[in-house]
Structure 1
Amino acid sequence: MKTHSTTGLYWFRHDLRLHDQPSLAKTAQQCDALILLYVIDPKWFKTNQFELVAMGAHRQQFLYESLVTLNDNLKANNQTLHVVVGDPVETVCSMIREHNISIFGFGNHQGFYERQQINSVVRKFDSLTIVSSHNASLFTPDSLPFSLDNMPDGFTPFRKQVEQRVMPEPCVPAHYGFPPPPAIAQTDWQTLPLHHGAISAFQGGENAALKQLQYYLFDSDLVATYKESRNGLDGWDYSSKLSAWLANGCVSPRRVYQELKRYERERTENDSTYWLYFELLWREFFYWQQAKHGSKWFSQTGIKNTISHSACNTDIIKQWQAGQTDNAYVNACLRQLNATGYLSNRGRQWVASYFVNELAQDWRFGAAYFEQQLVDYDVGANWGNWQYLAGVGSDPRGQRQFNLAKQAQMYDPSRQFLRLWGERNAS
C-alpha cells in the first residue's frame, strides 16, 4: 500500500500512440499523478552541417497532427499531453526536479542520439524508478537469436536466423486507468514551431494509422497483391504507406504484424502478405544495426570504415535537391519528393544512386536531405539505406549503381510518371 503520493513522468518520443505501450501502462499503474510529455527540440529547425534543417514542413505537419491526435485520445482518458519547446535532456531534467518525479517512463529507441538522451537523464538521478520497454520494434534484445555485438551485418543472415528462431513480441492491450496530471501549464498548440497547414496526403496520428492499416488489409485486400505492385512510382495504393506512421510511432510494428497474421488467417496467405513482413524485417534490421554501430551510422566511412566519395559541391547538391540535374527521372523523383514529402522505394534508389555514382557526392548530404524532406523519415532506415547504396554499409556487394535508363523502361514504360512529375512541374 502506498504511504505517500508519487508523481510519474512519461516521455513520448517515437511512440505517439496509446496502443502497444507497455512502459506507459506500467508507469500509469505506479503513480498517483502523471505528466505526459513531448519535447520539441529547437535544433530540428536550425541549419546543420549539411546546410539543411533536420525537419522540413512535411515532417512538421505530420508530427503536429500526430501530437494533436495523441492529445485528443488522452483527453478521452482523462489525461493531456504537455508539449514543451526546449533542449530535450534539459527539459526532462527540469520537469523531474520541479515536480519531484519519482517514476520515469519511456520507450527505448536504438537511435544513437536517442540512447544518449536517456543516458544523460538517468545518470543525473540516482533515486528514480525507471520504467522502460522496447515499443518501437518487433523484437527485443533478449528475444533476438544473437547479441547485438554479434548481430550479422548482412540482411539475409539476419532474416534467416530471425525467421527460424524467433517470433515478434505480442501487442500489449491498451487498457489505461490514467492518474490525473498535476497542476501544470496547458500547451498552447497554436504557438508550437511546427507547420500546421495541410500540404501532404498523409494525415498524422494514431487514428489515421489504424485506419490506413485497416484499409490496406481488410477494406481493400491490396496487401494480397503487394509484391506485384510494390515497385510503383506514383499513387496511394501501390504500397502500404504505413512507413510514416511507423516512423513516428503512431502504429507499432507489432500491431502491423498482428493484423497481417489475422489477415492471413481470415483471408489469404501468399507471397505478397509475406513480403509485407519481409519489409518489416528490413526495418527491424536497420533498427538494431544502428544500436550495434553507434555513431558510425552517421560517419562518412560507414559501418565498413570504407572510403567513399567525399566531394561536396554546393552547386551540384542544390541542383540535385531541386530536381535540376541532367537526368529527367531523377528530376521527376525529386520534384515529387519536394511537393509531397514522399518518394517510392524505387525512386529513392534511383536518386540516391545518381547522387553517389553519377554526381560522386558525399552520401551523407543526400541522406540529410531525405531526413529533412521525407514524411516517413526514420533514422535507422534512412541512414542505413544510404550507407547500403553508397557501399559503406551492410550491402555485401558494395556500392550499387543503377542503370537509370533501363530502370525507367522497366518501371515506367509508358512514361506516365515522367509526364506527371517531369518538366512541366519544374519550378
Structure 2
Amino acid sequence: MSEKTILVWFRNDLRIHDNEILLEAVRKADKVLPVYCFDPYYFQRTPSGASKTGNFRARFLLEAVADLRKNLQAYGADLIIRTGNPAEILPKLSEEYHVNEVYHHREVAYEETEISEQVEAALWKMRLNLKHFIGHTLYHKEDLPFPIKDIPDSFAVFKKKVERDSNVRPGVPTPDHIITPEITDAGELPTLQQLGLDEPTDDPRATNYFQGGETAALIQLHKYFSQTEQAVKPKNARGIGANNSSKLSPWLAVGCISPRQVYWEIFKHSQDSYAQNASMLKLELLWRDYFRFMFKKHGQKFIKAETTENNGQASATNQLDFNKWANGDTGIPFIDACMHELNATGFICNQCRQIVASYLVHDLHADWTLGAAYFEEKLIDYSPASNWGNWAFVAGVNDAKESKYVIATLQPKDAVSDFVNTWQHATIDEAGDMVHA
C-alpha cells in the first residue's frame, strides 16, 4: 500500500500548539509536508508608492516563520520555504513529493480568499483536494447559535447570544511527532532586502519589542498574567494603556498563538485579582470574531458603503490633511503623538487607533480607506478583517448602532501627558535627543 502524504500550507497559523490542520495531517497521513510561501503580492507597492507590508511587520513575519521552522525541527520535521505565487509553488511541490491532499485554514477577506481559490483551482487540475479548516476564531462557526447568514449585525446582540448559548472548544493536542518526506531543498528564509524592504530602525523611546514566533507568543501570554508583571505599573511604560494591554495582537494576527489558547489562559485567571484585565482581553477576542464573521456573512459589502459626500473623490486639500495626519503633523499633541509612535514602532494601543481614526474621518472628513490602507502598511498586528472592519465601523459605513469604544474615557491626565511628552516629536537623532522631522 502506498504512503499517504498531506501538504500543510501554513499561512496565518504559524504555530505547533492548537493547530488543527497540523494535528489532523499527522493523524491522517503517513507523512506531512509543511510549507510556507512568501507571496510577492503582499510585498508589492501600492498605487500611492507605499509598501503593502511595512518593514516592521515584515521583520516580525520573518521571525515568526523562522521560529516555526525551528519548532518543527524539534519534532524531527522541517518547513519548506519558498518565495512566489502559492498557486504555482504548491502544485509543483505536490507533484514532487507525491502529495495526496493539501490542508489549510480558511480565510475571510477577499484578497486571502482569492488566493485560496487560485490554489484550489490549480490543485483541482491535478485532481488534488484543498481541504479547508476553521482555526482563526475563538468560537467555531459550527458552535454559533445561528447560521452565518443570520448572525446579528449588532455587536452587542452578537456578544450576548454567543456568550449565553455557545461554548469555546478546548484546544487540540500537540502532535507527539511529525514525520516528513525526505526534503531535498527546504529553502532559505528571504531577507527584507529580497522582499524589497529596508531594515527597520528601532526607536529608543519604544518600551516594547515584538519578537515574531510562537516561542515569544507563549512567553508574552504567561508574562501578561504573571503576578510580578501585574503587581505594579512598569516604571518605563510610556504608552497609553501600557499597564493593562496584553500586546498579544501581533502574534494573534499571524497565528503564532490561537484565540482559544488565550481564552483558556483568561479562564484560569477569571477569578483572581486581574479579572478586569482578563475580561477586557476576552472582549477584544470577541471583537476579532465579530469582524471575521461579518466578513464571512457580508463579504466586501461590509466595508463598501459610502462614508462622506465626496468619498472616493478626495480633494487636494483632503490629501494635504491626510499627509499631516499620517506624519503626525496636525498640531494636535495627542493625535500627533499617536501617529509618531505608530510610524516609529508599528504599534499603538486600541484607544489610540480609535481616536486617530475618528479624527481622520470625522474631523478631517478624509476618505477612511486611506487610513485603513495606511494602517495596513504600518501595523505589526495587521489583520484584514479587524483592520478594515474597525475602520468601517468608525466611519459608520456598516450601519453600526453602537460605538466600539467610548473615546472620552481617556487614561489619567498624567499618563496622557507622559505619553504626549515622549512621542511629541517624530524622530530621535543618533545622540538620543528628540528632534522634529
- TM class, shorter-chain normalised? 0.7 to 0.9
Q: Kindly report structure 1 stretches of 4+ aligned residues shifted beyond 4 Å.
A: 194-198, 397-402, 406-414
- Partner AA of 2:296 in structure 1: A
Measured in 1, the distance between the counterparts of 2:375 and 2:49 equals: 13
SS of alignment partner, residue 35 of structure 1: strand
Measured in 2, the distance between the counterparts of 1:213 and 1:145 equals: 29
Using the TM superposition, name which of 40-49 and 69-78 deviates more.
Answer: 40-49
| Contiguous gaps of at least 5 residues in structure 1 | none
| Contiguous gaps of at least 5 residues in structure 2 | 203-207, 426-433
In structure 2, the residue matched to 1:296 is: 301
What is the root-mean-square deviation of aligned Cα atoms in Å? 2.9
Measured in 2, the distance between the counterparts of 1:310 and 1:419 equals: 36
Q: Choose which of 327, 340, 354 in structure 1 pairs with 2:345.
A: 340
Contact 1:217 1:263 in 2 (8 A): yes
Contact 1:65 1:204 in 2 (8 A): yes
Task: Output aligned runs, 1:50-61, within 5 Å.
Answer: 50-61=48-59
Normalised by the length of structure 1, the TM-score is: 0.88
Structure 1 residues 413, 270: CA separation in 2 closer, same or farther (over 3 Å shift)? closer
For residues 158-208 of structure 1, give each alpha carbon's deviation from its aligned partner in whole angstroms, at most 9, with x where no partner exists: 000101100112101112321223333132225452766673711111011
In structure 2, the residue matched to 1:128 is: 128
In structure 2, the residue matched to 1:93 is: 91
In structure 2, the residue matched to 1:83 is: 81
Q: CA deviation at 1:93?
A: 2.8
Q: Is 1:264 the counterpart of 2:274 in the alignment?
A: no
- Partner AA of 2:250 in structure 1: A
Measured in 2, the distance between the counterparts of 1:399 and 1:309 equals: 22
Structure 1 residues 409, 282: CA separation in 2 closer, same or farther (over 3 Å shift)? closer
Q: CA deviation at 1:367?
A: 0.5
Percent of pairs with identical residues: 32
Measured in 2, the distance between the counterparts of 1:251 and 1:399 equals: 24
Q: Choose which of 249, 253, 262 in structure 2 pairs with 1:247.
A: 253
Q: Choose which of 207, 216, 219 in structure 2 pairs with 1:211.
A: 219
Q: CA deviation at 1:314?
A: 3.4
**Residue-pair matches, total:** 413
In structure 2, the residue matched to 1:161 is: 161
Task: Output aligned runs, 1:26-425, within 5 Å.
Answer: 26-126=24-124, 127-189=127-189, 191=191, 193=195, 199=202, 201-220=209-228, 222=230, 233-234=239-240, 236-264=242-270, 267-268=272-273, 270-299=275-304, 301=306, 309-312=311-314, 313-393=318-398, 395-397=400-402, 415-423=417-425, 424=434
For residues 342-396 of structure 1, give each alpha carbon's deviation from its aligned partner in whole angstroms, at most 9, with x where no partner exists: 1111111121111112221110110011111111111111111100111103521
Using the TM superposition, name which of 372-381 and 177-186 deviates more.
Answer: 177-186
Q: Choose which of 5, 8, 21 in structure 2 pairs with 1:10.
A: 8
Structure 1 residues 233, 196: CA separation in 2 closer, same or farther (over 3 Å shift)? closer
- Partner AA of 2:396 in structure 1: G
In structure 2, the residue matched to 1:426 is: 436
Measured in 2, the distance between the counterparts of 1:378 and 1:323 equals: 23
Q: CA deviation at 1:398?
A: 8.0
SS of alignment partner, residue 143 of structure 2: coil
Q: CA deviation at 1:125?
A: 3.7
Normalised by the length of structure 2, the TM-score is: 0.86
Q: CA deviation at 1:7?
A: 2.4
Contact 1:352 1:386 in 2 (8 A): yes
